[in-house]
């Protein structure tokens, strides 16, 4: 129960911070732009209701061959002109997020959204995996030894490539702890 209350507190705190930030931006007269993605499909059906086994009903088709992914942005004045992106999905994954990726998102952001919103706008989006990618991500315990060595080398950190994976990770973890204190 204590864990659940802690989790609820964290969510309430995030919500409080979000509402305060939005209020601050509104008071400053900034343009608030919301972005999101969705999909439509011309031949995909789901069985969402009871159906008799004796009576022929909707045929289930899970091919999703006509799926379109739609990305757009809007603000209090409506959709942002010239900022829509609609493309045919390459394959069905059951989740349109599998059709979108960082490359498509960044291209849309740079070519369609940013040139068409007023300067000093605030852009609000969810936490889809392709919306944010950590650069120079610190390796984890489950990273490969090569990944650990590459990260240490790229960051100019002296290390012995002959060390075992757990030794490399202990060094990385020690550096990470040192940076946070």
114, 135 in Cβ contact below 8 A? no
Report residue 146 as tokens.
Answer: 């090569």
Q: Which residue has the higher pLDDT, 147 or 133?
A: 147
Q: Tell me the average pLDDT of the chain.
A: 84
Confidence category of residue 128, pLDDT binned at 50, 70, 90: confident
Cα distance from N-terminal residue to C-terminal residue, the chain: 31
In angstroms, the CA 160 to CA 148 distance is 11
- The confidence band for 4, taking pLDDT boundaries of 50, 70 and 90, is confident
Buried b (16+ CB within 10 A) or exposed e, 46-60: eeeeeeeeeeeeeee
pTM more than 0.85:
no
Tokens of residue 154, six digits: 């790229």
Note the pLDDT of residue 48. Answer: 60
DSSP 3-state of 67: strand
As a whole number of angstroms, the distance between CA 146 and CA 152 comes to 10
Tell me what the mean pLDDT of segment 18-42 comes to: 93
pLDDT at 102: 85
- Rounded Cα gap, residues 160 and 149, in angstroms: 9
Contact between residue 74 and residue 33 where contact means Cβ atoms under 8 Å apart: yes
pLDDT in tens, 104-124: 889 999 999 999 999 999 999
Mean pLDDT of 15-30: 96
CA atoms 41, 46, 49, 55: torsion sign = positive
Q: What is the CA radius of gyration of the chain?
A: 23
Q: Which residues contact 126 (CB under 8 A, 6 or more apart)?
A: 36
């Amino acid at each position: 129960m204590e864990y659940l209350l802690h989790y609820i507190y964290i969510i309430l705190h995030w919500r409080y911070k979000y509402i305060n930030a939005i209020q601050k931006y509104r008071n400053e007269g900034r343009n608030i732009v919301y972005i999101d993605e969705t999909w439509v499909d011309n031949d995909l059906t789901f069985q969402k209701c009871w159906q008799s086994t004796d009576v022929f009903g909707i045929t289930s088709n899970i091919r999703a061959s006509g799926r379109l992914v739609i990305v757009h942005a809007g603000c209090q004045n409506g959709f942002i002109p010239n900022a829509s992106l609609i493309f045919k999905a390459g394959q069905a994954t059951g989740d349109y997020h599998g059709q979108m990726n960082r490359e498509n998102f960044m291209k849309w952001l740079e070519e369609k959204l940013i040139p068409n919103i007023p300067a000093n706008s605030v852009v609000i989006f969810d936490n889809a995996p392709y919306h944010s990618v950590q650069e120079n991500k610190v390796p984890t315990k489950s990273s490969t030894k090569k990944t650990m060595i590459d990260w240490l080398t790229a960051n100019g950190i002296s290390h012995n490539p002959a060390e075992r994976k757990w030794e490399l990770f202990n060094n990385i973890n020690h550096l990470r702890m040192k940076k946070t204190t």
